[in-house]
Amino acid sequence: MKTGGPLKGFAEFSRAVAAQGTILLKNDNNFLPLQKQETVAVFGRCQLDYYNCGTGSGGSVTVMYSTDFINSLKSRNKVIVNETLYDIYTDWVSKNPVQPSNIVKSTHYEEMEITDSCVKEAAQVSEKAIIVIGRTAGEDNDNTNTKGSFFLTDTEKNLIEQVCKHFDKVGVILNVSNIMDMSWENKKISSIVYAWHGGMEGGNAIVDVILGNATPSGKLPDTIPIILESSLSNHIDKNSTEFIYEDDIYVGYRYYETFAKDKVKYPFGFGLSYTKFKIELLSFNLIGPITNSKSNGIEIKVLVTNIGNRYNGKEVVQVYVEAPQGQLGQPARKLITFAKTHLLNQGESEILTLFSPFFRSASFDDSGISGFKSAYVLEAGEYFIHVGNNVRDDQCPVNSFKINNTIVLKQVEEAMAPSMSFKRIKPVIDSAGRFHIDHETVPTQTIDLAQRIEERIPNEIPYTGDQGYKLKQVGHNQISMEKFIAQFSPAELEILVRGEGASHPNVTPGTASAFGGVSKKLREFGIPLICCADGPSGIRMEGGLAATLIPIGTQLSSTWDYNLIEMLYSMEGKELIKNNIDLLLAPGINIHHNLLNGRNFEYYSEDPLLCGKIASAVVKGIRKSGVDATVKHFACSGQETNKRRLNNVVSERALREIYLKGFEMVIKEGKVNSVMTASNKINGYYCASNYDLNTTILRKEWNYDGFVMTDWWTCINDIVNKGEGSQNNLANMIKAQNDVYMTVGNYGAELNENHDNIHESLNNGNLKLSELQRAAINICRFALKTNAFKRGHMLFENTHFPAQTGPIPKLIVNNILEIENTDNLFYFESSGKFQINVTYSSTAKGLGQTACNVLLNDFLVTTIHVGNTNGKTFSKKLANVKMDQGNYNLKLDYIPGALKITKIEFIKL
């Protein structure tokens, strides 16, 4: 069973993107770029064990190769690498390999302890030293405020001290997935580079930068604090299931630039180059009246000139608003637009025109203190506009405009306000003009949610039964969608809202899920079986199927170049097409609210505008190839610890200005058609059953007409009364207008394998048929836009698995294979088409899922995903296959423990 594999040229282009997303934080005495024939000693095991991505579903891409730092450096033959030191590290790493369990569960690799004499000897023959420090984190694996995670280990600290003791010229490369502590920085360290995780070409990319083949142009997407605890958000309590967002809208630089400027190590938007730039203001204009129109706003023209004398480079121009404090209170700065130049040669200039609609400067009033409750407003006062190359350094004279009376840009209705009372911070200004933290009570919910839901239940479409209509007739405007959906019985509608996976046998092998035409009857209606695949850093296909691993999300946002990212993802779209994948489960755009969040590498920034612009570019790029993207995790997914039980308590203002803003941009600018809700709760409601999130804001306010899926095996609680969550409560998911549950097992949708409550709720009236029909309309409307619909048929059905030759192993009796271990050799006596069934039990704890890849002769057949069966034995269909007479090896790739597989049966078709 083969797939299309990696796209030619994609990895090479991703290398250039990784170089542009590399951030040069420090470069005293022009330590970088390294010059020809300079002697360099490289320290740190991560020069060899170089991280290429974070962990979990957002990073587990199988690659045909991956590059490291030291061998990429040696291959250029430009500098003289200390071979003695290289041999020492190579020998130690070979004797102390990274254990497979540590790749996923650990945030660092054990570092080699090096003797002082070894460092001294290296300094005698090498002029410069480079230390490579590595970190990772990921899904279900947060960072911690401990050594070996956010902080250096003692061994790493000692290494830096030893190298700085003996070398006068020291550089540090941070091969990391997240911002980390930098208190170790000292005057002896000449250069610091954030290389991030650059994908499979990451080793080549960072070498391109340090040798001067590429000039760094990355800018920080996050603030680097001096002390982790200086912010209100950088903590994770593993014993808590509630996170109160006391910092409100004051996230990242909005907090630091307002309240704690002296607690910043490197400011938001900062990044150096090998050259220097001059930014000159050419004009500042207000376009049109101050309204909510996207055409009306602030226009700024600047002239950017490369005034260096040796290197070319790119510069990012950033524009921030300093709004009047008014009644609402404001951060000292807020990013409202940015742009990046093309590659400027020495002496070359470019005119950039930057535009920011007025609504980007607006604030949301969730209390009515401005006089306009539930409205986006520009309060009266003077708005100062700062133009520079980071949040602090103005490069042009400050301009401003005045508003005499508060202007309402958009009136909306209250939605998602918390029900519990808590305090949030707010600035007060002393007589010297300095900001201090005050607190105010957060407004709580005042609307009747049950009444809102009841009043907006759609009208039922009368059931007609099968009239022979097909989905393609809707696509050709021959019949209405309502007429098509009228044919579906309640039972057929129930099946449609259940996704299946992973590694569904009828779509591209090893992918995350399939939905839509999950039953024969649904496919007869013309609904295609749609293939979904992770993820943010490239296509993840289990079973050893290769794709292109691209730089992590944080590195992409560090480019501040949405045009470049759109080009990158247009190639991702082509690779999706090549592998017959219809929907990528990316981008992830949650705010970097907490620097310890393990999945920050999948996301982009602490700033919603930067998140939204980069994510919109991702979606636009993918859609150019005729496939689609899924924006996730909607919303407030700020940590992995306890994420399926965590209740995020957030004000409506913070939600609308910070945590939902990036999603709003992707809906309106990126035109995304697929949204994935998060696993956590917001103000008591699980995201999958949050009516105001999925209906009031997403669909009614933002005019979204795509479909919504859950995150995998999420919980759902009552749409009005909240309460405890359940993986079976799909009725409330449908009522909230979250359309598809991900996932039941393969072939489990028709059987209602997870025993969800849809059928029961239809019968007792808790769920209306019209609500289920509404979900079906959303799914089918999306299906019409997919490449799967254009194909018109399933690509993988009754896939052929050829036999092997050789000595005959054991025969199986009655086509039943009793499972004794993970490798099962057997001789198959007959040829033809067979249905494979599995008998299993599971004792997974709580909501846990266990998984097992099933392979025939080293080809992936499917993946078994099961929850807790309380030790009871069940049987289920795995796949339909074609088999020959001959030898087979059935491998079960899983970690024995909770899951027990006792029997595999081959039923002749």
Q: Is residue 148 part of a domain?
A: yes
d(CA 421, CA 441): 7
Active site residue 466: no
How many angstroms separate the Cα of 516 from the Cα of each of 494, 532, 736, 743? 11, 11, 19, 12
Residue pair 144/56 in contact by the 8 Å Cβ criterion: no
Asked, for residue 518, whether it belongs to a domain, the answer is: no
User: Is 270 in the same domain as 197?
Assistant: no
Q: Provide the β-strand partners of residue 438.
A: 426
**Do 70 and 193 belong to one domain?**
yes
* Confidence band, pLDDT 50/70/90 cuts, at residue 519: very high
The tens digit of pLDDT for each residue in 62-95 reads 999 999 999 999 999 999 999 999 999 999 999 9
Looking at the fold, whether 212 and 276 belong to one and the same domain comes out as no
Structure tokens at 139: 């899904």
Please report the pLDDT score of residue 1 as a whole number.
52
Same domain, 287 and 430: yes
The pLDDT value recorded for residue 105 is 72
Tell me how far CA of residue 166 lies from CA of 95, 189, 801, in angstroms: 27, 12, 61
> pLDDT value at position 846?
65
pLDDT value of position 80: 98
Report yes or no on 758 lying in a domain.
Answer: no
Residue range 606-612: mean pLDDT, rounded: 99
Which residues pair with residue 813 across a beta bridge? Answer: 816
The residue whose two tokens read 């005698």 is 124
Cβ atoms of 133 and 109 closer than 8 Å: no
Residue pair 574/547 in contact by the 8 Å Cβ criterion: no
| In-domain check, residue 260 | no
Distance CA 172, CA 164 (A): 11
Among residues 711, 718, 739, 756, the one annotated as catalytic is: 711
**How far apart, in whole angstroms, are the C-alpha atoms of residue 519 and residue 200?**
38
- Residue 15 main-chain phi, psi, to 5 deg: -60, -45
pLDDT value at position 411? 99
CB 97 within 8 A of CB 48: no
- Are residues 269 and 210 both part of a single domain? no
CA gap 639, 143 in Å, rounded: 9
Q: Are 208 and 15 in contact (CB under 8 A)?
A: yes
> Strand locations in 637-694, DSSP E?
647-649, 674-677, 681-682, 685-686
Cis peptide before 633 (omega within 30 of 0): yes
Model pLDDT for residues 674-719, shown as the tens digit of each residue = 999 999 999 999 999 999 999 999 999 999 999 999 999 999 999 9
Domain stop point among 384, 419, 449: 449
CB 41 within 8 A of CB 122: yes
One domain for residues 56 and 183: yes
Q: What single-letter amino acid sits at 494?
A: E
pLDDT above 70 covers what percent of the chain? 99
For 124, 355, 612, 846, the CA distances from 163, given in Å and listed in that order, are: 12, 47, 41, 49
Quick one: residue 723, left, alpha or beta (phi over 0 = left, psi -120 to 50 = alpha)?
left
* Average pLDDT score, the chain: 95
- 899-908, strands of its sheet edge to edge: 799-801, 874-883, 832-842, 899-908, 816-818
Say yes or no to pLDDT of 378 above 60: yes
Please report, for the domain that includes residue 38, its CATH number: 3.40.50.1700
Q: What is the pLDDT of residues 306-361, one digit of tens each?
A: 999 999 999 999 999 999 999 999 999 999 999 999 999 999 999 999 999 999 99
- Tell me which DSSP letter residue 592 carries: -
Phi/psi at 726 (nearest 5 deg)?
-145, 145
720, amino acid identity: V
Q: How far is CA 15 from CA 7, 18, 199, in A?
A: 14, 5, 8
Q: Are residues 412 and 284 in the same domain?
A: yes
Look at 385-389, 422-426, 759-763, 823-827 and tell me which has the smallest mean pLDDT.
Answer: 823-827
Question: Would the pLDDT of 640 be above 90?
Answer: yes
Domain check: are 31 and 156 in the same one? Answer: yes
Pair of tokens at residue 388: 């520079």
How much is the CA Rg of the chain, to the nearest whole Å?
28
- pTM score, whole prediction: 0.96
Q: Is pLDDT of 657 > 80?
A: yes
Number of domains in the chain: 3
According to the model, what pLDDT value does residue 296 have?
Answer: 98
Whether 301 and 438 map to the same domain: the answer is yes
What is the pLDDT at residue 102? 63
Say yes or no: 101 and 163 in one domain: yes
Instruction: Please give the residue range of the domain that contains residue 291.
Output: 265-449
CATH number at residue 844: 2.60.120.260
72 falls within a domain: yes
| In the block, residue with structure tokens 């409202």 | 336
The pLDDT, as a whole number, for residue 820 is: 77
Q: Note the pLDDT of residue 101.
A: 64
- Helix, strand and coil percent figures for the chain, each rounded to 5: 25, 25, 45
C-alpha triplet 216, 219, 222: angle, nearest 5°: 145
The pLDDT tens digits for 527-547 are 999 999 998 999 999 877 899
Q: Residue 254 pLDDT more than 90? A: yes
Mean pLDDT, rounded, for 46-63:
94
Q: Which of 485-499, 702-716, 754-768, 819-833 has the lowest mean pLDDT?
A: 819-833
pLDDT band at residue 792, thresholds of 50, 70 and 90?
Answer: confident
Q: Which residue reads 């939204």 in tokens? A: 612
Per-residue confidence (pLDDT) for residue 862, from 0 to 100: 87
Q: What's the confidence (pLDDT) of residue 829?
A: 86
Tell me, what CATH number does 405's domain have?
2.60.40.10
User: Is the residue at 78 inside a domain?
Assistant: yes
Domain annotation covers residue 71:
yes
Domain boundary among 432, 449, 466: 449
Q: What is the mean pLDDT of residues 250-277?
A: 98
Beta strands 23-27 and 189-194, pairing class: antiparallel
Residues 132 and 193 in one domain: yes
> How many Å apart are CA 428 and CA 606, to the nearest integer?
23
What was the pLDDT predicted at 894? Answer: 80
- Do 204 and 269 have their domain in common? no
